[in-house]
């Protein structure tokens, strides 16, 4: 048996990076506390002070840190501080759940093939910010969400899973974003379950 698969049955030790609302984080915390996801959220780190995600982490009894990117002279210095906090928390997978910073190669090298992100479109369509707005503006009738490994590009890493979300004629940004969010919560937790079960292995590019 693949040695990585053998170890995959222990709980995942997750470090979750956030910048805002944290509804995806909440879905993960809820699945962990319901016993339906074999994982522990060891630490939640926000680059934005006051992010609601931090409150959600603390309410679940999870260590919640703020590492403001503005306090650092370079992206490398910021990422080094993140890696240091993540190592301290002894995590083995990094989950980007609405984290609005691009990670440096130095960060990715610290957790090779073990950083995943969720994005609110069917990548490779509509990468970057405002993906739901991009989809509405373009007039596509179907969008969705994607969980992918993080590589050196923006929303460009190997895709793990996707779900489609229809765009209805009456949709505005708020109704579409809400529909995508609901699907994201299920997809993200399902991918983490697959990782915990050894059905998705660290990406070897
Ligand atoms: C999600 O739509 C996710 O796809 C994107 O940022 C949003 C975060 O939402 N990367 P939340 O903070 O989890 O509520």
Give 51-60 pLDDT, tens digit per residue.
999 999 999 9
How high is the pLDDT of residue 18? 98
CB 32, CB 62: distance < 8 Å? no
Render the burial of 175-188: b for 16+ CB within 10 Å, e for the rest. ebbebbbebbbebb
- Residue 7 reports pLDDT greater than 70: no
Percent of the chain clearing pLDDT 70 (strictly above): 96
How far apart are the C-alpha atoms of 150 and 158, rounded to whole Å?
A: 7
Ligand 1 within 6 A of CB of 15:
no
Give percent of the chain above pLDDT 90.
Answer: 95
Q: Which of 119, 148, 181, 185 is catalytic?
A: 119
Torsion, CA 119, CA 120, CA 126, CA 131, rounded to 10:
-120
**Residue of minimum CA distance from atom 10 in ligand 1:** 98
Q: Is the CB of 123 under 6 A from ligand 1?
A: no
Res. 34 pLDDT band, cuts 50 70 90: very high
Work out the average pLDDT over 88-117. 98
Question: For 159-185, how does the pLDDT look when each residue is reduced to its tens digit (9 = 90+)?
Answer: 999 999 999 999 999 999 999 999 999
Cβ atoms within 10 A of the Cβ of 203, count? 17
- Average per-residue pLDDT for the chain: 96
Q: Identify the structural domains of the chain with CATH numbers, from first to last.
A: 12-196 (3.40.50.170)
Answer whether 155 contacts ligand 1 (Cβ < 6 A). no
pLDDT digits (tens, 9 = 90+) for 121-160: 999 999 999 999 999 999 999 999 999 999 999 999 999 9
185 is catalytic: no
pLDDT at residue 1 above 80? no
Ligand 1 atom closest to the CA of 53, numbered from 1: 12
Nearest to 16 by CA among 89, 71, 123: 89
Average pLDDT over residues 57-73: 98
């Amino acid at each position: 048996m693949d040695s990585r698969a053998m170890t995959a049955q222990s709980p995942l030790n997750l470090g979750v990076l956030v910048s805002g609302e944290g509804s995806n984080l909440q879905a993960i915390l809820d699945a962990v506390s319901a016993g339906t996801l074999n994982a522990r959220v060891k630490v939640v780190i926000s680059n934005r002070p006051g992010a609601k995600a931090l409150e959600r982490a603390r309410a679940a009894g999870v260590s919640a840190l703020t590492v403001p990117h503005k306090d650092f002279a370079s992206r490398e210095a910021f990422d080094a501080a993140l890696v240091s906090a993540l190592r301290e928390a002894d995590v083995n997978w990094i989950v980007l759940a609405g984290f609005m910073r691009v990670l440096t190669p130095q960060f990715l090298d610290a957790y090779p093939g073990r950083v995943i992100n969720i994005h609110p479109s069917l990548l490779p369509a509509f990468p970057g910010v405002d993906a739901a707005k991009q989809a509405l503006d373009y007039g596509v009738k179907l969008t969705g969400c994607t969980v992918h490994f993080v590589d050196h590009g923006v929303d460009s890493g190997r895709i793990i899973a996707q779900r489609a979300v229809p765009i209805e004629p009456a949709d505005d940004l708020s109704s579409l974003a809400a529909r995508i969010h609901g699907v994201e919560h299920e997809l993200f937790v399902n991918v983490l379950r697959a990782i915990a079960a050894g059905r998705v292995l660290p990406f070897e590019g």
